[in-house]
């Protein structure tokens, strides 16, 4: 995966002593912390979304790579332009 970010997959874990969610790599490396400022459910949702970022990015990259043979909405240039913009934003690429 390109973009210079920590390689996925990432996993959220709740640490009761810190009252926070920590996002870790498969080998236990630390990626991020989500403090519970608002609701515990909101913090858990934020942690899951952050942990899913590498997977979401990879899926979007697969969609863009597959577009040449797609016979569905992926051939729609508007849809593809939005997907490409999301990848650029996530990877720090052009058009961000």
pLDDT in tens, 4-49: 889 889 988 999 888 899 999 999 999 999 988 777 788 888 888 8
Q: Are 17 and 35 in contact (CB under 8 A)?
A: no
pLDDT higher than threshold 50 for residue 55:
yes
* 77, two tokens: 């240039």
Q: Which region holds residue 43: left if phi is over 0, alpha if psi is between -120 and 50, else beta?
A: alpha
pLDDT in tens, 80-94: 777 778 888 777 777
């Amino acid at each position: 995966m390109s973009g210079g970010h920590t390689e996925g997959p990432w996993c959220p874990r709740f640490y009761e002593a810190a009252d926070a969610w920590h996002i870790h790599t498969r080998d236990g490396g630390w990626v991020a912390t989500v403090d519970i400022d608002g609701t515990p459910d909101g913090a858990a949702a934020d942690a899951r979304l952050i942990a899913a970022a590498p997977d979401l990015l990879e899926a979007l990259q697969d969609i863009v790579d597959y577009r040449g043979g797609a016979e569905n909405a992926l051939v729609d240039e508007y849809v593809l332009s939005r997907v490409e913009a999301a990848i650029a934003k996530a990877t720090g690429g052009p058009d961000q």
